Amino acid sequence: MPITQDDPRWNNVGYWNHDAAVSYPDRIAIIDLSRSEPREVRYRELEERLDRVARLLVDSGLEPGDRIAMSVSNRFEFVEIFFGAMRAGIVPVPLNTKLGADTLDYVMRDAECVGAIVEESANPHVAGLADALELKTRLVLEPGRAGWRHYEEALIATEPSFTPKRLADDHPSFQPYTSGSTGRPKGVVLTHSGQCWWIGCLKKYWPGDEHNRALAAVPLYHKNAMAGAIKPMLSWGGSVVLLPNFEPRRFLTVLSEYRCTHAGAVPAVFTLLLQERDLIESLDFSALKSLKIGSAPTPKELLDAVEAAFGVAASESYGLTEGGPVMIGVPTDGRVVPHGSCGVVWPEGEVKLVDANGDEHPSYGELWVRNPGVTPGYWKLPKVNAERIKDGWLSTGDVFSKDDQGFFYFRGRTDDMFNSGGENVYPLEIENMLLRNPAVAEASVVPVPHRIKGEVPVAMVVKAKGRDITEEELRQFTLSIGPAYAHPRRIVFVEEMPLNGPGKIDRKIVQRLMIERFGTLG
């Protein structure tokens, strides 16, 4: 039977898919392509394994509120461990498997993890770090590591039933860590009630179809895959196809062969897909309904190109791990979101734009958000909390404009903006100019020192497949369509961009490489 408000499972996000499992027990929930033979997991099996995970962790001595580190790649076990732990009130800490040992050690210590579930092939450091910390609960997906229990054997030996305790509304659900682009990663505390509110909004205002199927190829530890595929699809009774990693031609083939209706990823993924025009034109995408691009600045030109290539609606999504996670989206009145916009403010949430003086502005400024899904605070960072969270309002650090129809347009990060000769420059605006040239597939703009202007923009560019253009031609192109202060003073062509763990362009690496190459200009 569906869960009701007097049931302790009601406000527990670990049961986000329970009603779908009751309604569609024999439907496929997950198709896992991480192994030699695809693994189909039906709702009945997933529900049972979620309960087994909860029971296994409790039997191992963990209690509600305990943190457990997860180092697992894109496979169905990630989903069951992540949400199964939450059923028991245990707080999973999903680790970015691309991080180095020092950062991972910091995250595990900072989170005060008392247990770990590790796929050693996902990251070679985590198991050794867990041993050094002498964590009391240690489960490993591959058999044979001394002092660790084999996850699958332990799970199957566990009773397939679990009775949860009622959790307080502010009980932490999971604790992801931000990428640390402006310093050490910060733990983001997210509550069960807040996450349940967000999923409830999805089901209430944008109800899905149980026949929908999403393809997820970006890491599950990142909100793009969780908020864009896992949570919505498996709450509706739909299905998700999991790819262990992204490779353009494999992604396109799976999207077609598995008759996926939806897919989402970061802009860099779609930029690479567009380089495979021959394969796109040869495959059948008749089941496809829409594509979403988000988690990083998304140029209008990229949306236009994706929509033209696949023949379906392409839209920009915006969200913030600590902010809901999504607080701007598709209007409920049926209006179409114009390319370049992330949408309108979500129902039941609040948004405002704040100018440089700290005053609310009607159409331009830093985005502040307030809703039940906003983090109550960063883990053990009272000074950061005092700076960024005020009366429930979270300052996002993202700059937006809003038109007279209520549509929001992402303009850049406050910490990306730089001053060049007295002009405020946002890299995204220059990247958009570069992408208007058909010879440009991908662009990243960063500042480098200048003797007179302080800083000036330079660009790293990937050329479109089969196209050629010189540095001077591209620089003159930007001068012809934009202000002189915003043209890139130097342009470097590369085969591929440096990416971080979630697949976003790593601006810090781009800037370091450009400064190493050019030093101080002028």
Is residue 12 within 8 Å of 4, Cβ to Cβ? no
DSSP 490: -
Domain ranges of the chain: 20-245, 349-413, 418-518
Instruction: Tell me how far the alpha carbon of residue 114 is from its chain's centroid.
Output: 26
Distance, first Cα to last Cα, the chain: 71
Q: Residue 181: its pLDDT value, please? A: 45
Q: Which long-range contacts (CB under 8 A, 24 or more apart) does 200-208 make?
A: 201/346, 201/347, 201/348, 202/231, 202/232, 202/235, 203/235, 203/236, 205/332, 205/346, 205/347, 206/329, 206/330, 206/332, 207/236, 208/232, 208/233, 208/235, 208/236, 208/238
Domain 349-413 sits in CATH 3.30.70.920: no
Q: What is the pLDDT along the chain (522 residues), one digit of tens a residue?
A: 678 888 999 899 999 999 999 999 999 999 999 999 999 999 999 999 999 999 999 999 999 999 999 999 999 999 999 999 999 999 999 999 988 899 999 999 999 999 999 999 999 999 999 999 999 999 999 999 999 999 999 999 999 999 999 999 899 999 999 865 446 889 999 999 999 999 999 999 998 889 999 999 989 998 888 988 999 999 999 999 999 988 999 999 999 999 999 999 888 788 889 989 999 999 999 999 999 998 676 778 888 899 999 999 999 888 888 998 888 999 999 899 998 899 999 899 999 999 988 999 999 999 999 999 999 999 999 999 999 999 999 999 999 999 999 999 988 777 777 878 777 788 888 988 898 899 999 899 999 998 888 889 999 999 988 899 999 999 999 999 888 888 999 999 999 998 876 667 888 899 999 999 998 987
**pTM attached to this predicted model:** 0.85
Q: Are 364 and 355 within 8 A, CB to CB? A: yes
Instruction: Check residue 272 and give its pLDDT.
Output: 87
Residue 427: the pLDDT is 86
Q: Which CATH code is given to the segment(s) 20-245?
A: 3.40.50.980
**CATH dotted code for 418-518:** 3.30.300.30
